[in-house]
Amino acid sequence: MDWVTVVVLLALLQYIVFAVLVGRARGRYAVKAPAVTGNETFERYFRVQQNTLELLVVFVPATWFYGQYVSPTWAAILGAIYLVGRTVYLRAYVADPAQRSAGFGLSVLPITVMVFGTLIAAGWKLLR
């Protein structure tokens, strides 16, 4: 057990919290299942969760691979930046979707660095 695992688990927990916020918004703004539109605020929470799902599916294996093949310390640091980025994204998106870029970039950047970083390390080892 190491900090990489802890960061990945915290990302899973953060996503669960985002999903709970969607459920709460569904009740509060009376958006009945299976509808996922009809109230702007609900849609914002829903899109934050969906966007986090879209990143999480890459974040989990990317962090694990990067920690395994490049650097566990940097995997934990980049993972922590992702966590902060997602929190900024949630707050900005719910307040005003047009302001979502900063938080989006802050959470996409570490994922991209880890995917490319591991690919370069892999290519290096396989080709030399």
CA 50 and chain centroid, separation: 10
**10 counts as binding a copy of itself under rule CB under 8 A:** yes
Contact residues for 78 (Cβ-Cβ < 8 A; gap 6+): 63, 66, 110, 113, 114
Of 25, 26, 43, 82, which one interacts with a copy of itself (CB under 8 A)?
A: 43
**13 counts as binding a copy of itself under rule CB under 8 A:** yes
**115 counts as binding a copy of itself under rule CB under 8 A:** yes
Count interface residues toward a copy of itself (CB under 8 A): 49
CA 58 and chain centroid, separation: 9
50: number of Cβ within 10 Å: 13
Q: Cα–Cα distance between 107 and 111 in angstroms, integer?
A: 7
Of 25, 90, 106, 111, which one interacts with a copy of itself (CB under 8 A)?
A: 111
Q: Hey, CA dihedral for 2, 87, 48, 107, is it positive or negative?
A: negative
Residues near a copy of itself (CB under 8 A) are 1-3, 5-6, 8-10, 12-13, 15-16, 19, 32-36, 40, 43-44, 46-47, 49, 53-54, 56-58, 60-62, 65, 69, 93, 97-98, 100, 111-112, 115-116, 118-119, 121-123, 125-126
